[in-house]
Amino acid sequence: MKKHFYVGIVAVLIAVVMIGATVITASAATNSLSEKETDAIVNTSTDQSKIESPFLNVVNDVRNSVVGVNNYATSTAYYGYGFGYGYGQPETKEALRGTGSGVVITEYGHVLTNYHVVEGASRVTVTTGDDDKEHEAKVVGYDATLDIAVLEVKDLNIKPVALGDSDALQVGEYAIVIGNPMGERFARSVSVGVISGLGREVTDRSMDKYGRISTVTNTMIQTDAAVNSGNSGGGMFNTLGQLQGIPSMYALSSSGGSSFFFSTGEQADNIGLCIPINVAKPLITEVLKDYNSNGSKSADTRSQQGSSAEERIDSPLFGKPRLGVTITTLSNSSRFGLPAGAFVRAVEAGSPADDGGVKVGDIVVEMDGTILDSQNALINKLNGYHEGDQVQLKVYRDPELTDNTNLDKVDVNKLGNGEYIDLTITLRVVDNMNF
């Protein structure tokens, strides 16, 4: 009897639950959202014209003027037995060495970037946001000490940015950094911060285009806007859309990577350094003057080599013009803070070199725009000249070397305090028997 009683109670409870579920389901069905109500929640829109930001107009105006810069290098290797000892066949290959950023600064296709972005490149290309094509570029001017370079890209057809006046920057104003951190995968990324400091002195060792290594101190702009690997050569803009700086350095903590300017163990976050645009303006001016008058010129490349042999600059054929100097190539010149080039051991009295101001101890590093890294480079360059030709020489003159014919007596601790001097030499025939 009790068993039937409990069975009856369970049956009643199940019935009550089922009735309740039915009521709830019916209630839910009665109160469900209509398609119109759901659409109002989900299918929304944003009125871009009402978005307020001090950066939108700037970014839209200049973002596409920031390009990618690709550094290609070639190397020759031997494959097969012999490893270069006469049995294997050499094979030259080109590979992408690194990438960076650049900013279009003229309607003629000039792109401003960092020197370290294009340093050592056998070929440089530029990529834009308009297409996937790599545009061939030429390095038409650079200053390794300041870490700046100017490229020229034919038929680039990209709107140039306006240059600002970095001397007018104020600590606390906005800084908009645009570049390609980590390459094209994050092309034309935008980061925003403020100007954290001005006149930050950064000391580093640098090699100029003539091979002279020196310790240089550059004045930089500090910002907390993100500056990462690949941003180098991009742009730091103000809210007027003017290019005020070139992102060049960033600080890393000691936990990984390398730091441009902090020693191991120092911790740093949100510290990026940019080259002031006013520092780059003299180089830009020089490039544009050359472009307007003579057309663009690509930078000369050179190889590092040393020699202890001496050569007399004259011709076995009587009647050929010469400088009238005896030269050699110094070994390990960069070790002592000297550039590579043709070291002048002697200057013939009354010769074109003597009349033009060349002194014993000078190092000839450039002739008519061609960089010279040895005495052979100078000899080969002279072969194309004739009587009466004027040549532009650039020499490095160090007080410790001037008029010193005995290199054994040079105090190496005093080397590296010289300067580059421009000289104009008029070549003429000099009797070979007089020297």
**Beta bridge partners of residue 310, listed in sequence order:** 328
147 is catalytic: yes
Find the catalytic residue in 206, 232, 333, 374.
232
Find the catalytic residue in 65, 101, 116, 135.
116
Q: How far is CA 413 from CA 294, 346, 361, 410, in A?
A: 42, 23, 16, 9
Both structure tokens of 129: 């946001």
pLDDT tens track for 337-366: 788 888 898 899 889 999 999 998 899 999
Residue 352: per-residue pLDDT = 92
308 is catalytic: no
Both structure tokens of 313: 């600059």
Spatial neighbors of 360 by CB under 8 A, at least 6 apart, are: 344, 345, 346, 347, 402, 403, 404, 405
User: What is the arithmetic mean of pLDDT over 134-138?
Assistant: 92
pLDDT tens track for 406-419: 666 777 777 777 88
C-alpha–C-alpha distance, residues 197 and 221, integer Å: 6
Kind of pairing, strands 242-250 and 162-163? parallel
Residue 15: per-residue pLDDT = 55
With tokens 């039937």, the residue in question is 4
116 is catalytic: yes
Residue 18: per-residue pLDDT = 58
C-alpha–C-alpha distance, residues 348 and 350, integer Å: 6
C-alpha–C-alpha distance, residues 96 and 191, integer Å: 26
Both structure tokens of 248: 């060049």
Residue 170: per-residue pLDDT = 95
List % helix, strand, coil for the chain (3-state, nearest 5).
25, 35, 40
Report residue 25: phi and psi, to 5°.
-60, -40
Residue 408: per-residue pLDDT = 65
220 and 202 Cβ atoms separated by less than 8 Å: yes
Domains, the chain: 59-294 (2.40.10.120), 310-434 (2.30.42.10)
pTM of the model: 0.64
Q: What is the mean pLDDT of the chain?
A: 78
Find the catalytic residue in 101, 110, 143, 147.
147
C-alpha–C-alpha distance, residues 260 and 89, integer Å: 40
Kind of pairing, strands 134-143 and 213-223? unpaired
Report residue 320: phi and psi, to 5°.
-85, 135
